[in-house]
Structure 1
Amino acid sequence: MDHLERLAHAVLFPALGRPVVPRWIDGPVAAGLGGFVLFGKDIVDQDQLRGLTAGLRELSPSLHLAIDEEGGDVTRLEAAGGISTPGNLALGRIDDLDATRACAHQIGLALRAAGVTWDLAPAVDTAVNPFSPNGVRCFSGIRAHVAAHAAAWVEGLQAAGVSACAKHFPGHGLSGTDAHLGTPDLDLSRDELVDHYLDPFRSAIAAGVDSIMVSHPRVSALDELPASISASVITGLLRDELGFDGVVITDALEMRGVADVAPLGEAAVLALRAGADALCLGAWAYGEDVRTAAHAIVEAVRTGDLPAERLEQAADRLRRMGRRGAPDSPLDGEADSGLGLRLARRAARVSGDPLLRGDATLVVRLEPVASPASGGGPGNVETLLATPGRTVEQVTVAAGTYNGPGIVHAAISEFREQYGASGDVVILVRSPHRFEWQAPILDRILATTPDVVVLDMGFPQLDFSAARGWVRTFGASRVCAEAAVEALTGRRG
């Protein structure tokens, strides 16, 4: 394996693909692969995750093991029985920088214990557009608030010995397009970008953030290419204008925001030439994609399209970042398993009378289109409600559900006839303003059955004060569900 091929592999970060060390990684790791991004499908439970990361480091102690653990809706640890915290929107609602710092620190301690030392978080987008798919992942719609909490989050995580990654540069909050599905457009002038739009990233840089993720929006004032492969954005804006000299990692190159513009091999070369140091290949990128990207990089260097010095520079930045999570670095602080729930309680907002009155509850779920980045949502609300003596029923409809409005109306009507005054109806939504099909269903419910309780576990934009009760949790993690159920039942766990 020659030096150039090792440099080409050193910038690649594919997924793993399974919850055990897979056979396909032997060759790439021997060739100097930079590391892996671990996804939910790679994690079963805490013991398995620790064994997996230990097994990977036995193959190569220098591997960077990264994960998307934002807390809240974007979590890899919670489903495996690990830490649960409210996400950025809830933390921004609390608006206590010490609380944000402490929450990130607990996430960092949990990741260190799991053998992960690079967290692709926090998201420091600003929710200026309520239709942004990333709204619940934003601290606020106010840029100054996002900037302050971004710095606190970075400080808390990195104090635990885990590298933070501010994302998604230059900021997703303006567009309603999900970069997984298309290329967002940022219709801003260069002056608007520099003067205020980038403030959260400035704040993260000032806090010493180890890395920044560049995503795929098109900044037409600078370039027609997506940001992740644009030299004007990465080198011109992030490096030269903001002065960032840490690791720049791309958002996943399998996402349509860039894949519709350039195939993997071409995108890999363009991103490196633009100034990126690490290429996140994506959740479904394995050996074949590694070979494709590595081959394209090697050929680009050999033909003069990509300077070898650019790869050397990237490898050096990655080596410097790797020192933070060294095995002999101390753990600073103690785990606090109750912090997440305490914060979720502080974030929750209650209006009207949400207390359940009877011994039977119907939960009507209007399911959103989940972002590929996030988890499955508040799956334990019904379980938490189903205490001894309480009957809990559920009906779920989504955009494609046949006769969804009819199903919801019939289910509520039949439930009320069955239980009468002993039956409570809870309407569980997540950012319903983003989904047109939900509006007529909600309008009909409030017109015909106003004594329902609305539980919004997303980005609240609609006014449900006409309902009997209204609970907002600003996120859908396990602890947010627990705080919601406490508001519904009046009982603390």
Structure 2
Amino acid sequence: MTELSRLAHGVLFPALGRRTVPRWARARVEEGLGGFVLFGKDIASAEQIRQLTADLHGLRDHVLLSLDEEGGDVNRLEPHGGTSVPGNHALGRLDDPELTREAAYQIGLSLVAAGIDWDLAPAVDTAVNPLSPNGIRCFGADRALVARHAAAWVEGLQAAGVSACAKHFPGHGLSSTDAHLGTPTVDLSRQELVDHYLDPFRAAIAAGVDSIMVSHVRLTQLDTVPATISPAVLTGLLRGELGYDGVVITDALEMRGISDVAALPQAAVRAIAAGADALCLGAWAFGDDVDTAAAALVAAVEDGTLPEERLREANARIARLGTRPRATGAAHDDTVGARLARDVVEVHGDPVLRGKRALVVRLDPTHSPAQGGASWGIAEPLRAAGVEVETLAVAGDTYNAEGVIKAEVGLYLDEFGPDADVVLLVRSSHRFPWQRPVLDELLAKYPGCVVVDMGVPGDDFGQFRGWVRTFGASRVCAQAAVDTLLAGA
């Protein structure tokens, strides 16, 4: 192994792909690999993740282990012993930075227990576009609110001893494009960006955030390429204008937002040259992609395209991560998230179930790859509370979705009577044009239904019998909704 190869491997963060240490990973760690980004598919239980992280850390000093534990809808540990808290949108609704700091601290304690060094959170985009796919992951649409909660979240997480990562610089908030599927664009001048748009990142930097994730957003007035590979954005704005000297990591290079513009070898070299330090390769990037990216970086240094000093600088910054004192003696309090979820719930009309039987009709949103698992809802906690639950889940591509829902609801009410409970479960329904006609028809024919909305507010369901809003779909949000439906039972 040459020194140059070690430097090239040191900036790479692939996925792992297995629940034990795979053979390919051992070889690349010996080459100097920076670390790994773990995903939900790598985790089976609290015991398994602790053993996995211990084994990975044992391969070499300073193997950095990271994942996306935002709380709320994007999490990896919540189903496996991690704490459950409402997500950023719910925390922004409560608008108490101290509560946000407490929630992030509890997430940090879960990460410490699991052996994680670096959390790729919080998302500090400002959801000014109501159709933003990241809306539920954002503290809100007001930049000042997002800024103060960004700082609180960073402080809370890092107080537990885990490095935070403010994302997705320079911000997805104006775009409705999911960067997994295409390149988002933001058409703002440099002055507008500096004057107000970047305020949440400015606040995170002031709070001492250890890293910032750069997105695949294209700032049309600054550059023709995504921010990931733009010197004008990374060196000009983030390093120069905001004065940031921490680690900059790219969003996943497998995402269409960048892969449509530059293939992995080119994207890796251009991102490091532009000012990034760490390359997140993606959820399906393993040994072959590591070899491809490392070879491209080595070749770029050898042919003069990339200064070796840029790789050395990146490695030096990465070495600072994972060095915070761990809050190993602190007591983990799982009641924090449950309390916050109860506090944020809004209730309209009369949503309380009339009996111990319910049909739950779930209108699924387009699944986000960032979320991980696609499971969400209230059926299981209702069953755990003794309710006999029948379920129907439909999506935009479900054959005859509207007809299926009408038929199932009609059959159910015919079987159990017109006062039987039907719960319509939605999440940001205003973002999915197929859902509004379905809901309108149900309202016209079955106004006695109850609606549970677990997404960003958009549609008004006030004409149904009852309506519950949780502002998130985490486990504690689902339980808060169920507690409301069963109030007085």
TM interval, shorter chain, is over 0.9
Q: 1:386 aligns with which of 383, 386, 394?
A: 383
Query: Where do 5+ consecutive residues of structure 2 fail to align?
Result: none
How far, CA to CA, are the matches of 1:262 and 1:332 in structure 2? 46
Instruction: Provide TM-score, normalisation by structure 2.
Output: 0.98
Deviation of 1:366 after TM superposition, in Å, equals 0.6
Classify 1:13/1:235 alpha carbon distance in 2 versus 1 (closer, same or farther; 3 Å). Answer: same
CA contact (8 A) 1:36 1:65 kept: yes
Runs of 4+ with deviation above 6 angstroms: none
1:30 equivalent to 2:30? Answer: yes
Paired amino acid for 2:368 = S
Classify 1:468/1:306 alpha carbon distance in 2 versus 1 (closer, same or farther; 3 Å). Answer: same
Classify 1:235/1:210 alpha carbon distance in 2 versus 1 (closer, same or farther; 3 Å). Answer: same
CA contact (8 A) 2:356 2:386 kept: yes
Paired amino acid for 2:474 = S
1:112 equivalent to 2:109? Answer: no
**Where does 1:41-56 land on structure 2 (aligned, <5 Å)?**
41-56=41-56
Aligned equivalent of 1:468: 465
Classify 1:474/1:179 alpha carbon distance in 2 versus 1 (closer, same or farther; 3 Å). Answer: same
Aligned equivalent of 1:228: 228
Paired amino acid for 2:411 = E
Aligned equivalent of 1:125: 125
1:436 equivalent to 2:436? Answer: no
Aligned equivalent of 2:289: 289
How far, CA to CA, are the matches of 2:387 and 2:471 in structure 1? 26
CA contact (8 A) 1:360 1:422 kept: no
Aligned equivalent of 1:13: 13
Identity %: 63
Classify 1:411/1:482 alpha carbon distance in 2 versus 1 (closer, same or farther; 3 Å). Answer: same
Q: Secondary structure at the match of 1:245?
A: coil
Q: Secondary structure at the match of 1:270?
A: helix
Classify 1:174/1:132 alpha carbon distance in 2 versus 1 (closer, same or farther; 3 Å). Answer: same
Deviation of 1:321 after TM superposition, in Å, equals 2.3
Paired amino acid for 2:201 = F
CA contact (8 A) 2:118 2:321 kept: no
Deviation of 1:358 after TM superposition, in Å, equals 2.1
Aligned equivalent of 2:478: 481
Deviation of 1:421 after TM superposition, in Å, equals 4.4
Aligned equivalent of 2:341: 344
CA contact (8 A) 2:377 2:473 kept: no
Aligned equivalent of 2:194: 194
Aligned equivalent of 2:69: 69
Classify 1:230/1:359 alpha carbon distance in 2 versus 1 (closer, same or farther; 3 Å). Answer: same
1:458 equivalent to 2:452? Answer: no
How far, CA to CA, are the matches of 1:351 and 1:306 in structure 2? 59
Q: 2:399 aligns with which of 386, 399, 402?
A: 402
Aligned equivalent of 1:447: 444
Q: Secondary structure at the match of 2:58?
A: helix
**Where does 1:406-421 land on structure 2 (aligned, <5 Å)?**
406-421=403-418
Q: Secondary structure at the match of 2:136?
A: helix
CA contact (8 A) 1:358 1:422 kept: no
CA contact (8 A) 2:40 2:373 kept: no
Q: Secondary structure at the match of 2:417?
A: helix
Aligned equivalent of 1:142: 142
Classify 1:49/1:491 alpha carbon distance in 2 versus 1 (closer, same or farther; 3 Å). Answer: farther
Q: Secondary structure at the match of 1:236?
A: helix
Encode CA deviations 1:77-102: one digit per residue, 9 max, x unaligned: 01223211110001111111111000
CA contact (8 A) 1:214 1:228 kept: yes
Paired amino acid for 1:180 = H
Q: Secondary structure at the match of 1:269?
A: helix
1:335 equivalent to 2:332? Answer: yes
Q: Secondary structure at the match of 1:407?
A: helix
1:90 equivalent to 2:90? Answer: yes
Worse overlay, 472-481 or 381-390: 381-390
Q: Secondary structure at the match of 2:319?
A: helix
Deviation of 1:332 after TM superposition, in Å, equals 6.3
CA contact (8 A) 2:108 2:158 kept: yes
How far, CA to CA, are the matches of 1:287 and 1:239 in structure 2? 31
Aligned equivalent of 1:164: 164
Q: Secondary structure at the match of 1:32?
A: coil
CA contact (8 A) 1:359 1:423 kept: no
**Where does 1:252-267 land on structure 2 (aligned, <5 Å)?**
252-267=252-267
Classify 1:387/1:23 alpha carbon distance in 2 versus 1 (closer, same or farther; 3 Å). Answer: closer
Classify 1:221/1:380 alpha carbon distance in 2 versus 1 (closer, same or farther; 3 Å). Answer: closer
Worse overlay, 68-77 or 413-422: 413-422
1:302 equivalent to 2:302? Answer: yes
Deviation of 1:187 after TM superposition, in Å, equals 1.1
How far, CA to CA, are the matches of 2:94 and 2:178 in structure 1? 27
Classify 1:206/1:14 alpha carbon distance in 2 versus 1 (closer, same or farther; 3 Å). Answer: same
Aligned residues: 489
Aligned equivalent of 1:218: 218
How far, CA to CA, are the matches of 1:184 and 1:53 in structure 2? 34
Deviation of 1:391 after TM superposition, in Å, equals 2.0
Paired amino acid for 2:92 = G
Aligned equivalent of 2:368: 371
How far, CA to CA, are the matches of 2:56 and 2:386 in structure 1? 48
Deviation of 1:489 after TM superposition, in Å, equals 0.6
How far, CA to CA, are the matches of 2:74 and 2:338 in structure 1? 17
How far, CA to CA, are the matches of 1:73 and 1:203 in structure 2? 24
Paired amino acid for 1:107 = I
Encode CA deviations 1:229-273: one digit per residue, 9 max, x unaligned: 100000000000000000000000000000000000100000000
CA contact (8 A) 1:160 1:332 kept: no
How far, CA to CA, are the matches of 1:378 and 1:109 in structure 2? 25
CA contact (8 A) 2:159 2:327 kept: no
**Where does 1:357-368 land on structure 2 (aligned, <5 Å)?**
357-368=354-365
Q: Secondary structure at the match of 2:225?
A: coil
Aligned equivalent of 1:319: 319
Q: Secondary structure at the match of 1:59?
A: coil
